[in-house]
Chain A
Amino acid sequence: MNTSYIEIRNLSKKYTVKDNSVEALKGVSLTIPKNEIFGVIGLSGAGKSTLVRCINLLEKPDDGEVIIDGQNLLELSKQELRLKRQKIGMIFQHFNLLEQQTVLENVCFPLEIRRVPKAERKKKALEFLEKVGLADKANAYPSQLSGGQKQRVAIARVLTNEPEVLLCDEATSALDPETTKNILNLLKHIHDTMGITIVIITHEMRVIKEICTQVAVLDNGVVQECGSVKDVFENPQSKSAKRLLLIGETEEANYVG
């Protein structure tokens, strides 16, 4: 059976800007099994980005634990955390490629960080570019690519480290529905062939429907509901889940009509 792989316990995060403070996460607990495509859905401001950024400690939680593969990330030294992060890939809404470097150099970057010899770097990078269908763009610059192509480069880049976990923060939100579908298919293919645990953050129902197996509904910094996509979608219990479903259906109707 599936064992728990990412264990999030009682995570809290408060932002204070001047006199205003926002509790972005209020004691979030999640268990993400190995090899799952796990979705986190919620409306804007729900705390999704904060949650996913706490998983690789880009954001430091005020309280709680993040345990990946039995290791509590908050107990790691700086150096250990760096090494751990090399096994936790992340892709972003705005791709975050190096604009002044070619596609190939971008994909080589994580290998350079790991001090992989130059020749091997290039070979490996090309191999992954091939995998995402962009080998012919190796010498192009990101500014010459479409949004979907940029995300493919970002995916190739993240895969060169052969990560055990892949975090996606709104990875398709800047893309049109068709491209979104392509990227999601690519992620699914990667999941099936490489056996990576994927965490997908989104505000779009259709993304969850398309590839996730389990889903957590986040609202106002609290997990309102969590379970298999089928259960949550067919028989939503929480108000937030019902609301998201309603929004999802309206959007879908809009795409068709």
Chain B
Amino acid sequence: MLDKEMVKMLFEGVRDTCYMTLVSTFFGYLIGLPLGIFLTLTDKDGLTPNKAIYSLLDVIINITRSVPFLILLIVVMPLTKAIVGKSYGSTATIVPLTIAAAPLIGRMVESSLKDVGKGVIEAAVSMGAKTGTIVRKVLIGEARTSLLTGVAIVLGTVLGYSAMAGVVGGGGLGDIAIRYGYYRYETGIMLITLVFIIAVVQVMQGIGSFVAKKFDHRSK
């Protein structure tokens, strides 16, 4: 069953899955990172507390986070079509993936940044640092291990979502698994695809943890 055609398809699957996951995670961080920073700053013991902004962001995140991915995928289809021009295939899947990843990333970033000790932040304030400098050098700088670990977790989650998108022809390994395993009852192919998915997750997690550790200078 593993003819040349099949191998080619599997490798294309891996390529598409990595493409969707990486690009969506990247766009997710473009939205999620500032989101997490604003959540941290505007929370009640943040540097610039602002209850209205915090509550608003908090509610938006909670709502988007509670929509199951498959439903989100269908709900945003018109938007996807408007942006990408079609609603299927791996490029199209990036739109819902990004929308699903952003609030998750916002929360992960918030939790990482809130772990930074109040003392160092205060020291920076006492030196007359601007809020922007504190965000960059103190919050992000000191939380980088936790932020990088977060990236690894997000990649795993987004990859899982991307596989789900296979149900509606989203492309990638999930798509293959569903087409062959579910519609054609070719369990063998499905299992092989599964192994590939696991391998990709493992590699991403592995790189993530390695990089996170490498850049950690705190006492072990």
Q: Which residues of A contact B (CB under 8 A)?
A: 56, 58, 81-86, 88-90, 92, 94, 96-102, 109-110, 112-114, 141-143, 154, 158, 161, 167
B119 near A94 with CB under 8 A, answer: yes
List residues of chain A with CB within 8 A of the CB of B83.
none
Give bound CA distance, A102 to B138, whole Å. Answer: 13
Asked if B123 is at the interface of the complex by the 8 Å CB criterion, the answer is yes
B127 near A143 with CB under 8 A, answer: no
List residues of chain A with CB within 8 A of the CB of B120.
96-99
B193-220 residues at the A interface, CB under 8 angstroms: 215-220
Q: Interface residues of B: mostly helix, strand, loop or mixed?
A: helix
Q: What are 8 A-to-B residue pairs whose CB atoms are below 8 Å?
A: A83-B128, A98-B120, A99-B142, A109-B137, A113-B128, A113-B129, A113-B130, A158-B127
Asked if B56 is at the interface of the complex by the 8 Å CB criterion, the answer is no
- Contact digits for B79-117, partner A, Cβ 8 Å, 1 yes 0 no: 000000000000000000000000000000000000001
- 8 Å CB contact of B137 from A81, A82, A88, A112: A112
B129-174 residues at the A interface, CB under 8 angstroms: 129-130, 133, 137-138, 141-142, 144-145
Q: How far is the CB of A116 from chain B (nearest CB, A)?
A: 13
Knowing A113-B129, A161-B127 touch, does A99 contact B119 (C-beta < 8 A)? no
- 8 Å CB contact of B218 from A58, A81, A99: A99
Q: How far is the CB of A128 from chain B (nearest CB, A)?
A: 14
Size bracket, chain B contacts? 20 to 34
Asked if B30 is at the interface of the complex by the 8 Å CB criterion, the answer is no
List residues of chain B with CB within 8 A of the CB of A112.
133, 137
Q: Which residues of B contact A (CB under 8 A)?
A: 117, 119-120, 122-130, 133, 137-138, 141-142, 144-145, 215-220
- 8 Å CB contact of B128 from A85, A98, A141, A154: A85
- 8 Å CB contact of A98 from B133, B137, B220: B137
List residues of chain B with CB within 8 A of the CB of A113.
124, 127-130, 133
Give bound CA distance, A161 to B219, whole Å. Answer: 28
Knowing A100-B142, A109-B137 touch, does A88 contact B126 (C-beta < 8 A)? yes
Q: Which of A83, A89, A143 is packed against the most chain B CB atoms within 10 Å?
A: A143
Give bound CA distance, A227 to B75, whole Å. Answer: 73
Q: How far is the CB of A204 from chain B (nearest CB, A)?
A: 21
